[in-house]
Amino acid sequence: MADDKKAPAGAAAPPASGARPDGMTRRQMLRSSMFATIGGMFTLVAAGGGGMVWPIKLTGFGGIVPAPVKVQDVKVGDVVTVRDGKYYLTRTDEGLMALYWKCVHLGCTVPWNQSAGKFMCPCHGSVYEPSGQNIAGPAPRPLDMMEITVDPDGTILVNTGKITERNAHDPSHATKV
């Protein structure tokens, strides 16, 4: 019965074979490393997914793009090209219009022809008036327009995320200034 001696209450148990001095076995260390790696992968996937659904403040095309001129600087007949917003700011007798520069026929960029006083598509020959109304070529309808708001200080803000298709030009489409 001398072999049935128990270790005193405060003494540490002898380390198991293959155990490190801190008491962790190789199997426990590999298991902990595996779970840490899996947890890290799930964290990266969650962060990437969160980045895809987190709202982004849009600047440039798709958001609010201010015109580079004030409303008092735009005279009747003027056409201002705004590259950041992909639109032309035109002023007619009816008021201001922001016209999307994409041709409604096949999506070409329609440049303003100053000498002719019209928008002329170089690819397929569509021609548009300063109001965006199609007058020649294969384009089936006028240029699309964007929403305009004018601040009290004269700053023109164009919402390039709100593009409106039109079947024909109507003077009520222009923003009165």
The string of pLDDT tens digits covering residues 83-118 is: 888 899 999 888 889 999 888 888 888 898 888 989
Domain total in the chain: 2
| The pairing of beta strand 96-100 with beta strand 64-70 | unpaired
117 and 169 in a single domain? The answer is: yes
Of residues 177 and 14, more confidence is placed in: 177
3-class secondary-structure state, position 171: helix
Per the listing, tokens 């002329």 go with 120
Whether residue 35 is contained in a domain is answered as yes
pTM of the model: 0.64
C-alpha 80/C-alpha 133 separation (Å) is 17
Whether residue 5 is contained in a domain is answered as no
Least confident of 30-44, 56-70, 130-144: 56-70
134: part of which helix (H) or strand (E)? strand 134-136
34 and 106 in a single domain? The answer is: no
76 and 33 in a single domain? The answer is: no
Strand order in the sheet with 118-120: 112-113, 118-120, 127-128, 134-136
118 and 159 in a single domain? The answer is: yes
Q: Taking the CB of residue 145, how many other CB atoms lie within 10 A of it?
A: 24
pLDDT digits (tens, 9 = 90+) for 69-84: 888 888 888 889 888 8
Whether residue 132 is contained in a domain is answered as yes
